[in-house]
A and B are shown apart, each in its own frame.
Chain A
Amino acid sequence: MNKPILSVTDLHKSFGPQHVLKGISLDVQAGERIAIIGGSGSGKSTFLRCINFMEMPSQGRIALDGHSLGSVKQTRAGETRVNYAERELCQVRARVGMVFQQFNLFPHMTVLENVMEGLVTVKRAAKTEAREVALSQLTKVGLSNRLDAYPSQLSGGQQQRVAIARALAMEPEIILFDEPTSSLDPELVGEVLRSIRVLADEGRTMLLVTHELGFAYHFATKVIFLADGVFHEVGTPEEVLKEPKQQKTKEFLRRFNEFAF
């Protein structure tokens, strides 16, 4: 096994009294594509959002390329706490891309400006250079003909493809997809999934939280079933989706297939 590019150790997350993640550990190798499935409220989005610190983990460590993030402090009560400096978090987030369920495009910027924004503001790239990169990413998701449109003029599927291009422009080492098709009309899901599959073919490292089990089956190198804040079952798509061993996984899949035809 190579050294993992992302390593999560004993991750916990609580919102007030609610203990959402109860000790999650995961090593991600370069080129792996991990699909995370589970019922709503199981904590799968929270887990993904902890990886790039959209949510601050309550406990546990995250390491990127072998470097543990944050610094451990002892509190007066004798507990250990991990503190994160804003600068370190910004550097991590620039290396870990994220695509949101609600797209979250910047409505006051054109398609092109949206994709250039990270390069110009965060990476301090020259405008011409940023334009070049943005253009090639937008071409990849098939939107090079809508450069000057504003997000409000695009369909949901188009907006999500712009969001994918925006994340890609930063050349992230890992891309996190947080239910990227869940707020799309059914007929628009396909175009977004096709864009994601292009990235898979490029050998990119990706984590995908999804309800599209069919896509997870074809896309992922590893599937994780998350329930009650822990990994209940981990394996190849074949193992988890076709021959699940855990009772909970079986029930979840049965509920999912209830109205299949």
Chain B
Amino acid sequence: MVRVGGTLVNYIWDFSAVFSHADLLILGLRNTVLLAIVSIAIGLAVGLALAALLLCQYRVPRYAALAFVEFYRSTPPIVHFFWFYFALPVLFNIEMSPFAAAVLALSTQSSAFYAEVFRGGILSIERGQREAGSALGMTKAQAMRRVVLPQAVARMIAPLVERSFELTKTTALASTLAFADLLYQAMMINSETFRPLEVYTLVALMYLILLTFASALARIGERRAARWR
């Protein structure tokens, strides 16, 4: 029961109209998951490269990477969506699908955040660890691969997962490009059924279940990566 303007209103929940469009929601969920996975994968790869530049001993690549990171940290993601989808065709005659534009916007933005996580994780490993590796005769690359990274990765998992959740929720912005993600499908169903409470509650539940499941997986991964602690 909800009190509206002094009178009690009995809202009767009715999901039947929404459930009859379940196929649309399933498609939306599929597209959201696809968009998130592709963007996370590209974002991680670019982020790793950026982190290497951030840790580079030469000034020019380091500052270039720093500028990239600062730019994406300090601008709202919806601007990036619009930029890739609406500005590029006008300015450079580059047209792309809503999916491609969304992937570009999400993966570039999150690569900046991932890069910071990678950099921080690597720097958090004590100098003595690298020294112990090189004292055995390891090259810098070997010490990084065998000694620093395995420890750093265990520390990175939690913030990386956090970032990826953030990204997954940001995929909803792709609906502004008319990409058929979960939120866009919800808007479509709503305009047909006029059942916003049911539609958006259900969509929220779907995000919740999706991310809770991912969260459980991540926790298992984290425990595996740090079984030595």
Q: Which A residues form the contact surface with B (CB < 8 A)?
A: 52, 54, 86-87, 89-91, 93-95, 97-98, 100, 102, 104-110, 117-118, 121-123, 150, 152, 166-167, 170
Residues on A with C-beta less than 8 A from B134 are 54, 89-90, 93
Is A100's CB under 8 angstroms from B228's CB?
no
Smallest beta-carbon distance B143→chain A, Å: 9
Is B132's CB under 8 angstroms from A122's CB?
no
Given A117-B146, A121-B142: A104 and B137 interface contact (C-beta under 8 Å)? no
- By Cβ-Cβ distance, the 5 closest A-B pairs, closest first, are A94-B137, A118-B136, A104-B132, A122-B137, A104-B128
Residue among A122, A166, A170 making CB contact with B142, cutoff 8 Å:
A122
- What are 23 residue pairs bridging A and B, where the CB atoms are less than 8 Å apart in the complex? A54-B134, A86-B140, A91-B137, A93-B134, A100-B128, A100-B131, A104-B131, A104-B132, A105-B132, A106-B147, A106-B151, A107-B151, A107-B228, A107-B229, A108-B150, A108-B226, A122-B137, A122-B138, A150-B228, A152-B228, A166-B136, A170-B136, A170-B137
CB of B212 within 8 Å of the partner chain: no
Is B154's CB under 8 angstroms from A108's CB?
yes
Assembled-state Cα–Cα distance A95/B142 (Å): 17
Is A54's CB under 8 angstroms from B137's CB?
no
Is A90's CB under 8 angstroms from B228's CB?
no
Residues on B with C-beta less than 8 A from A98 are 135
Assembled-state Cα–Cα distance A118/B146 (Å): 10
Residues on A with C-beta less than 8 A from B151 are 106-108
Residues on B with C-beta less than 8 A from A86 are 139-140
Residues on B with C-beta less than 8 A from A121 are 136, 138, 142, 146
Residues on A with C-beta less than 8 A from B229 are 107, 152
Is B135's CB under 8 angstroms from A52's CB?
yes
Q: Which B residues form the contact surface with A (CB < 8 A)?
A: 126, 128-129, 131-140, 142, 146-147, 150-151, 154, 226, 228-229
Secondary structure at the B interface, as helix, strand, loop or mixed, is helix
Smallest beta-carbon distance B227→chain A, Å: 8
Assembled-state Cα–Cα distance A106/B138 (Å): 14
Residues on A with C-beta less than 8 A from B150 are 108
Most buried by A among B132, B138, B142: B132
Residues on A with C-beta less than 8 A from B133 are 106
Smallest beta-carbon distance B101→chain A, Å: 41
Residue among A109, A118, A167 making CB contact with B228, cutoff 8 Å:
A109
Of chain A, the residue at the smallest CB distance from B141 is: A86
Assembled-state Cα–Cα distance A93/B136 (Å): 6
Assembled-state Cα–Cα distance A52/B133 (Å): 12
Residue among A94, A108, A110 making CB contact with B136, cutoff 8 Å:
A94
Is B136's CB under 8 angstroms from A104's CB?
no
Smallest beta-carbon distance B30→chain A, Å: 38
Assembled-state Cα–Cα distance A114/B136 (Å): 11
Smallest beta-carbon distance A113→chain B, Å: 10
Residues on A with C-beta less than 8 A from B129 are 104, 106
Assembled-state Cα–Cα distance A108/B135 (Å): 18
Assembled-state Cα–Cα distance A181/B229 (Å): 24
Residues on A with C-beta less than 8 A from B154 are 108
Give me 9 other A-B pairs in contact (C-beta within 8 A), A100-B128, A106-B147, A106-B151 excluded: A86-B139, A90-B139, A93-B136, A104-B128, A106-B132, A107-B228, A118-B136, A122-B137, A152-B228
